[in-house]
Amino acid sequence: MNDELDHDPTRVLQAQAVQLGDHDWRMVMEAAIALARVGQAGIAAVLWGLTHPNARVRRGCAGFLDHHATDACFAQLQWMALHDPAAAVRRVAVHSASCQQCKPSPLSGDLVGLLVQVALEDPNRHVREKAIGGLGSQPQDARAIAALEQILRTETAPRLRSQAHHALKQQDPTYKARVDAQAREREIAAARARKEQPLLRHSPTEP
């Protein structure tokens, strides 16, 4: 860093936010530790980095917020998840907005509304998959159930259908009970068929 940058704390932190997009993971970790150490000032620099023209920087900043986002970050993460031109950035933004386990405290924004919109509308399959999976970890919500049912009715990609199936089991106890009962019936039928198969092989043939 040059002398002018060294004497401007804001620009120092912004340079570290840019470093979150570095190809060298050691440089990324160094920047992440430095930004986390300064608290809100570091988060402000990362939010600035979410508007950087380089998609790798935006993705790195979105990834940093997976562990450090506060409610003040939700609006910008939401915008990125819906509108960033890079699918990889949208996917990370969806995860960072919706994953609550790693944050100091859960975000209070409308996560279900965001995930439903992405799950139904995003043009990229991997981004949709992330949103569909995220719906399964949210509290029960009629909007999530309706969206997942729609995906099961209309989606042709097997992986997305599988994600929607598992998410709907977590969202809707009635659906879970029904499909679990159907699975048990299939298991019983398969076991009966296996048991009867040796009997059929050893049954006397007609003359």
CA-closest candidate to residue 78, choices 109, 48, 56, 53:
109
CA-closest candidate to residue 143, choices 108, 118, 122, 166:
118
Mean pLDDT of 94-104: 88
Q: First CA to last CA across the chain, in angstroms? A: 95
Higher model confidence: residue 194 or residue 56?
56
Is residue 183 predicted with pLDDT exceeding 90? Answer: no
Q: Residue written as tokens 């562990």?
A: 67
Q: In this predicted structure, which of 75-89, 109-123, 193-207 has the lowest mean pLDDT? A: 193-207
Is residue 205 predicted with pLDDT exceeding 60? Answer: no
* Triad 44, 96, 92: Cα angle to 5°: 105
Q: What is the pLDDT of residue 201?
A: 63
Helix (H) / strand (E) containing 25:
helix 25-37
**Mean pLDDT, the chain, integer:** 91
* Triad 37, 44, 103: Cα angle to 5°: 60
The pLDDT tens digits of the residues spanning 113-147 come to 999 999 999 999 999 999 999 999 999 999 999 99
Q: pTM for the whole thing?
A: 0.84
Is residue 106 predicted with pLDDT exceeding 90? Answer: no
The pLDDT tens digits of the residues spanning 17-39 come to 999 999 999 999 999 999 999 99
Phi, psi of 205 (to 5 degrees): -85, 150
Proportion of the chain above pLDDT 70, given as a percent:
92
